[in-house]
Amino acid sequence: MKNILKLSIIIFGLGLLLSSCEKAQEIYDQPMPEAGVYISGSSIYLDSIHLNGLMDLGKIKKDGEVVTKDSLYQKFMYITASGDFTVNQQIETETVAYGLSGDWTEEETGIWSGTVAEGGSKFKVAEDGFYLFTIDLELSIAYLFKIDSWYLTGDAVVTEDAKIDLVTSDKLDCTWEGTGIEIISGTGSASNMNFSFYSQDTYSISGDSVNIVTYLGGAFPEPELGGSDFSTYIDQDDNIFDFAMSYNFFTQFASTNTMPPYDPRVNSYSLIGSAFHQGNDLNNAATAWDIDFELVFDENSDTLNGIYNFVYPEMYFIAGGEFKVRFNGEWNPPAGGNFGYLGDDFITGDVANITSAGGDYGNFKVTNDAQYNVTFTFNNKTFIKTMDFSIVQ
């Protein structure tokens, strides 16, 4: 009996010993890096590799279109002169660090370039500030753009040298503000603008082959690099406004202004082209860009959330025909305006049957005969335009 008791004690002790030799569970207080290119360091907000430090694919202009380049990565961020940062590429289980081979070269005021190498020295800046950092791993080159101000450019902006200046900044948040900026009014149609940190829409980092985008566009609440131009609609004599923009390391850009909410009902919208039957009657001949079919405001639109719908129900479309949407029965600003396939932010519904006619006019084109409930939606919070072609059952 004593021997059995001793044996049990020995087995119990061995169990404790083996248990204590097992590797302790590792608990990570942040996500493990996925494949991608990361930025981190003591001079920016993140001092270690983290999913929130994943860099964006860089945007360039190619043949007039904004596209991404696979080897190009970019990040807007506030950088301090004290400390440094590194770019790390995660490839499966391997982490490759990139840095400078040599020193920065100042290309022009506020713009620096440098050669990149694996295991190079860590990146540094000479002065605290907000920057766009760009790195191309294929070309082995990096660029820094110091952004103290954003310039408001485009035909909507009347004020010369209109800009918003950096007023508060740290590694997490930055804000820019500008007052007394005059915006064109009374055109009856949209005018365009964007926020730019350079005198041109692009900056070449490799001859004429890689032209990175240097402006923010899209929708005012959430501007994005390379977005389509902001649209402004001002129908009042008082056209002096204030603009502000903010940046957060995690949430990116946000923008506000004192322009009044635009009510798209001040304009009329119609379909015109060669894609319709006269009187919308199948027994009649096709139109010849001589008849407008008015899109009528839908009283059930969610205007509290900025949604204004204009509809034409049960519209017949003719195969091979082309058409546009026309403002105020006019063709050209300032009296009015029109837009075709490329003038829309989104096209929904039977998208396979409605295509771009291309050419100088950019019309919509119909592939096959169809009947649609047509809805033109204008969002006055984002200025996004959508055309929907829903098949009539």
- Does residue 21 surpass a pLDDT of 60? no
pTM, to two decimals: 0.73
Question: What is the reported pLDDT for 187?
Answer: 63
Question: What is the reported pLDDT for 336?
Answer: 54
- Does residue 387 surpass a pLDDT of 70? yes
**Which uninterrupted H or E stretch holds 364?**
strand 364-366
pLDDT classification of 189: cutoffs 50, 70, 90: low
Mean pLDDT of 275-296: 97
Whether the Cβ atoms of residue 289 and residue 326 lie closer than 8 Å to each other: no
Question: What is the reported pLDDT for 147?
Answer: 98
d(CA 365, CA 318): 9
d(CA 192, CA 385): 14
Encoded tokens for 348 = 């929904």
Question: What's 33's DSSP letter?
Answer: P
Question: What is the reported pLDDT for 61?
Answer: 92
Question: What is the reported pLDDT for 69?
Answer: 94
Mean pLDDT of 85-108: 94
Question: What is the reported pLDDT for 333?
Answer: 53
d(CA 160, CA 139): 37
d(CA 82, CA 44): 10
d(CA 274, CA 351): 19
Q: For the segment 213-248, what is each residue's pLDDT rounded down to a tens digit?
A: 999 998 788 899 998 888 787 877 889 999 999 999
SS3 category, 153? strand
**Which uninterrupted H or E stretch holds 204?**
strand 202-206
d(CA 136, CA 255): 29
81-92 burial, b if ≥16 CB within 10 A, otherwise e?
eeebbbbbbbee
d(CA 199, CA 205): 15
Encoded tokens for 41 = 């360091």
d(CA 351, CA 142): 41
Query: Which residues are within 8 A (CB) of 264 and not within 5 positions of it... i.e. 6 or more apart?
Result: 233, 308, 310, 378, 380
Q: Which domains does the chain have, with CATH numbers?
A: 36-146 (2.60.40.3620), 149-201+209-257 (no CATH), 264-391 (2.60.40.3620)
- Cα distances from 41 to residues 47, 100, 172, in angstroms, run 4, 14, 14
Whether the Cβ atoms of residue 105 and residue 252 lie closer than 8 Å to each other: no
Mean pLDDT of 79-86: 97
Q: For the segment 39-69, what is each residue's pLDDT rounded down to a tens digit?
A: 999 999 999 988 899 999 999 998 888 999 9
pLDDT classification of 188: cutoffs 50, 70, 90: low
Whether the Cβ atoms of residue 371 and residue 362 lie closer than 8 Å to each other: no
Mean pLDDT of 102-127: 96
- Residue 376, class by beta-carbon neighbours within 10 Å (0-12 exposed, 13-18 middle, 19+ buried)? buried
**Which uninterrupted H or E stretch holds 263?**
none
CA triple 187-293-353, angle to 5 deg = 105
Mean pLDDT of 307-316: 98
d(CA 348, CA 390): 8
- Does residue 16 surpass a pLDDT of 60? no
Percent of the chain surpassing pLDDT 70: 89
Question: What is the reported pLDDT for 166?
Answer: 98
Least confident of 104-113, 212-221, 335-344: 335-344
Mean pLDDT of 179-189: 83
Question: What is the reported pLDDT for 33?
Answer: 65
Neighbour tally for 240: CB within 10 Å: 12
